[in-house]
Structure 1
Amino acid sequence: MQKVYHEVNQLDRHCYEAFGLSEDILMENAARAISDAIVQNFSPNKKVLIVSGVGNNGADGIVVARHLHGDYNVSLYLPFGAKSPMCVLQLQRAKQLGISIVEKIEDGYDIVIDALFGTGLNKPLNSRAVEVIEQMNALSGFKIACDIASGIDSEGEVEGVAFEAHTTITMGALKKSLFSDKAKEYVGEIEVAHLGVTRRLYEAYDTSIFLLEKSDMRLPHRHKANTHKGNYGHVHVIVGEQEGAGIMAAMSAFRFGSGLVTAVSPSKPANLPLYLMHSRSIGSHCSALALGMGLGDFDLSKILELDIPMVVDADMFYKDEIKQLLNKEQIVLTPHPKEFVSLLKLCNIADISVGELQSSRFKYLELFSTQYPNIVLLLKGANVLIAHQEKIYINTLGSATLAKGGSGDVLAGLIASLLAQNYSPLDATISASLAHTMASRQYTKNSYAMTPLELIETIALLKV
């Protein structure tokens, strides 16, 4: 996993003070990362348009123009001029080289570089800025954002418009604002530019936010020869009024390695797969429990007294009884935004709308994790956020393929399966979430077509 920071000013200052690097040196390296990416992917003489703002992000863009000048057909556009000392200096150097400075945006460029605002954007865009960004988006060339796509503010919010990048090359370290749900629509592929020292040296300070990678997933492969089903746990799934949800979770748990899976309901569902067992109650042999999916009205009194690993989903987030679980160990919660809003209200943490949550997902996840640090909470979304012990882990690997009823039921089953196989709640949630999202990317049919059963089968075929 990689470190993610709220902002990197402190890291820059550390470079100045500890390593003797100047602002100019960091800027040269930032620009070199972008120009190298262009050289590696585009042949010489391609037409490049760089749109630069008034501050140091704009200065980065001007330095990119200098690095490419002579090998590429570079045009520089400064719709608001140059104001910061570094921007003024870099513009002077560009003029001395004879770099073309244009007065308007026209089509015909192979590459478009956005260096307008960077991560320093802290106020709404004015009408002229909106116009410039819309003009850049209308261009047909390959689009690269310098640090972050212009229009995304320091909290990852987008008010109306933002640059639609194919690739974002961010400077020095990953920033939280790159990973909001709204930002995902604009940032494209994210790369980190080294600024004159390795990332290990640049990222000198601790952080509470981390980006998950494929290598963080630990699938429940079986390596022992002398083993039996009892070694892989026994999941119980509460099957409520909407039977299909619980059954899909149970099927998912079985397919992800649990040795035994029992569906718990007052009467045996007619469509229960043959490999799943049925019981009217939770037995003493239960290793992990999944509840909430399609629950409806269900007697929870005995369930809430249990001290076993649990994954809690869906209907449970609208029931006051959920508060009885929040001071237990080994509890994983998996709400979508509307369910999390309900949970926040039940816990007297916040009374907000879904829109307010989506504008500040990190903030409210941090508030919840501070109050309930032992709970693992997975907040669903375009980017999945997992909170535990006041740390947040980001999973960006999901796709729109998962935007289907039943996907969350499958995820609950995956987590329960790993809990039953003696994964810690955090490890179970991370590995299950990564398997869930990576399967969505490996699905080979049309993006609108995946069913929960196909998702389960794709997870079974994961290769990493």
Structure 2
Amino acid sequence: MQKIFDEVNSLDKRCYEEFFLNEDILMEHAASSMCSYIEDIFEENKSVLIVSGSGNNGADGLVLARLLHKKFDVNLYLASEPKSSMAKLQYKRVKTLNIKEVNEIFEADIIVDCLFGTGLNKPLDEKYLNLIDNLNSYSSFKIACDIPSGINNFGQINSSTFQADVTITMGALKTSLFTDLAKDYVGEIIVSDLGVQRELYETQTNKFLLDENDMKLPTRNKKDSNKGSFGHLNVILGSKKGAGIIASNAGFGFGVGLVSVVCDENVDLPYHIMQTQNISQNCTAIAIGMGLGKYDENKIKEILNKDVPKIIDADLFYDELILEVLDKEVVLTPHPKEFISLLKLSRIADISVQELQNNRFLYVEKFSKKYPKTVLLLKGANVIIAQNEKLYVNSFGSAVLSKGGSGDVLSGLIGSLLAQGYKALDAAISASLAHTLAAKNYKRNNYSLSPQDLIEEIKSL
């Protein structure tokens, strides 16, 4: 996994004070990374339009123009006059080379956005909104320097935001790149070193980006085993029984030895799924909440009090019963609407879904601080998993998963790993990665995924 930071100014300052680097050196490395990317991907003499602002992000663009000059057809568009000391210095250097400046933007082969970067702290005015809209209208390959212009320090977006194919971010990953709102604008994210290796530049943090190799599949290595060796998952069936059955199938396909659904009514089940009216004596994990609907409160309370690992989803996030388990190491998997209900029940905040989506990291941190034992998995375009004030981001999510039943599959996957002995946080991380990476591997039309398709892909990871 990789570290994520809310801000990097303190990391830059550390470079100046501890490594005796200066702003000019860091800026040269930032631009060199963008230059190397362009040189590696594109043929010489391709047209490059560098759109620069007045601050240090614009100064990065001026350095890039100098580095690309003569090897590419460089066109420099100054959206405003250089104002920061570094921007003025870099512009002075550019002028000595007679680099072409243009008064109007155009559809170059490559467009590099160096307008604002992480310096954006206020809404854009009409001039810049129109400029970004026009840049987005071109079919050029688009590169954002540090962060696409229009995304602020909190990852919130303006009505017009630069739509990058690639974002080359400087020094370290920023939290603002991983909000749900920013996901459609950042493209591929590449980190540029700034004068020292990344492991030296970075310090301690409480946020991490998950990589594919953070997924630990329940591969079986023990030869002397039987089905009981791999746990027994109990799935509580509610009024919408299909949700629980989907979770049961997903759990069975992800390594657990036995799966039983708990239901008073006779249900038509796949042959490999068992049924019981009460929690099995050898149960090693419980999945509850999916499609629960109306329920017997006393019976649910009894189940929640069982000293067995649990994954809780859906309807229970609207009931005060959930408060009784928040001091335990359970896994909660709400979507945004369910999470705002949970926030209200736990008296953390009474907010709208929009307010949550504008500040996902903030409210996840608040919840995790109040309930450090609980593992929270907040669903979204970028999944956030938290425990004990540490946050883990799964950025592999896609619109492929925006189908009914996808969340039930996830519940089954987490339940399966819990039943096999995974710790709650490890189960949430590995199941979430399996869930999103399986969807990423799906080869048919991205609107066509069914829960069973997803389960089959998971079996092939």
Shorter-chain TM-score: which interval?
over 0.9
Instruction: Tell me which amino acid in the other structure corresponds to 2:140.
Output: G
- 1:159 Cα offset (Å): 2.1
In 2, are the aligned partners of 1:233 and 1:420 still within 8 Å (CA)?
Answer: yes
In 2, are the aligned partners of 1:307 and 1:328 still within 8 Å (CA)?
Answer: no
Q: Do residues 145 (structure 1) and 144 (structure 2) align?
A: yes
2:259 alignment partner, SS class: strand
1:4 alignment partner, SS class: strand
Instruction: Tell me which amino acid in the other structure corresponds to 1:81.
Output: E
Residues 379-398 of structure 1: pairs in structure 2 closer than 5 A:
379-398=378-397
Q: Do residues 249 (structure 1) and 255 (structure 2) align?
A: no
Aligned position for 1:225? 223
Deviations 1:280-315 (A, max 9, x none): 010221100000000012221311221110000001
1:387 alignment partner, SS class: strand
Aligned position for 2:316? 316
Residues 54-203 of structure 1: pairs in structure 2 closer than 5 A:
54-107=54-107, 109-203=108-202
- 1:184 Cα offset (Å): 0.4
Instruction: Tell me which amino acid in the other structure corresponds to 2:405.
Output: G
Deviations 1:226-254 (A, max 9, x none): 11111100000000000000000011000
Instruction: Tell me which amino acid in the other structure corresponds to 1:119.
Output: T
1:74 alignment partner, SS class: strand
CA distance in 1, matches of 2:32, 2:324: 55
CA distance in 2, matches of 1:437, 1:304: 28
In 1, are the aligned partners of 2:79 and 2:115 still within 8 Å (CA)?
Answer: no
1:434 alignment partner, SS class: helix
Aligned position for 1:420? 419
1:419 alignment partner, SS class: helix
1:408 alignment partner, SS class: helix
**Which residue, 280, 283, 286 being the options, matches 2:283?**
286
CA distance in 2, matches of 1:52, 1:273: 61
Deviations 1:120-144 (A, max 9, x none): 1110000001011111111221000
CA distance in 2, matches of 1:328, 1:447: 38
Residues 440-455 of structure 1: pairs in structure 2 closer than 5 A:
440-455=439-454
Count of equivalent residues: 458
Q: Do residues 334 (structure 1) and 333 (structure 2) align?
A: yes
1:201 alignment partner, SS class: helix
CA distance in 2, matches of 1:78, 1:321: 59
Q: Do residues 264 (structure 1) and 236 (structure 2) align?
A: no
CA RMSD across the alignment:
0.7
Q: Percent identity?
A: 56
CA distance in 2, matches of 1:395, 1:268: 38
TM-score by length of 1: 0.98
1:178 alignment partner, SS class: helix
1:356 alignment partner, SS class: helix
**Which residue, 267, 276, 293 being the options, matches 2:273?**
276
In 2, are the aligned partners of 1:369 and 1:375 still within 8 Å (CA)?
Answer: yes
In 2, are the aligned partners of 1:211 and 1:393 still within 8 Å (CA)?
Answer: yes
In 1, are the aligned partners of 2:52 and 2:113 still within 8 Å (CA)?
Answer: yes
CA distance in 2, matches of 1:131, 1:328: 51
